[in-house]
Amino acid sequence: MKEIKAIIQPFKVSEVTDALEAIPGVGGITALDVRGFGHQRGHNGMEARAHGSLNYLPKVMLLFVIPDLLVDTALATIQRHAHTGNIGDGKVFVSPVEDALRVRTGERGESAL
C-alpha cells in the first residue's frame, strides 16, 4: 500500500477528487487546507522579491492510501487534472504504508481501505 499526498491548487480540488473517485479501488480521500511555498518562495515570477520575503500561498493537500497497483494510475490522474502549466501547480509525494486498520470492523491491510 502507498500513501499519496497531493498538494494542489484549491480551485482544482473538485476536478482532481472527482477523477480519483472514478478509479476503482480508490476509497476515501482526506482534504486539508494548507499554506506553503515552493521554489518560487510564493511569488509568481512577475512580482519583485522585496527583501527576501516569503509568501505562503493557500493550497489543498489530498491524502489517501491505495494499493500499490493503483499508484501509477492515481499519479497520472492527479497530474492530468491538477495541471495548469503555471507556477504553483503543486507536488505529489508517495510513501509506503506498512499496515492499515479499519477501526469499526477491525479489518487490516488492504481490506481496511
Tell me the per-residue pLDDT of 9-64, one tens digit each, with 9 for 90 and over: 999 999 999 999 999 999 899 999 999 888 765 555 545 455 556 678 899 999 99
In a domain, 107, yes or no: no
d(CA 112, CA 37): 34
Which tops the pLDDT comparison, 50 or 8? 8
pLDDT at 95 over 70: yes
Domain count within the chain: 1
d(CA 60, CA 82): 11
In a domain, 33, yes or no: yes
Tell me what pLDDT residue 85 has: 92
Contacts of residue 103, defined as CB under 8 A and 6 or more positions apart, other chains included, come to none
In a domain, 71, yes or no: no
Q: Structure pTM? A: 0.86
Domain of 11, in residue numbers: 1-60+82-94
In a domain, 87, yes or no: yes
Say which CATH number the domain at 35 has: 3.30.70.120
In a domain, 35, yes or no: yes
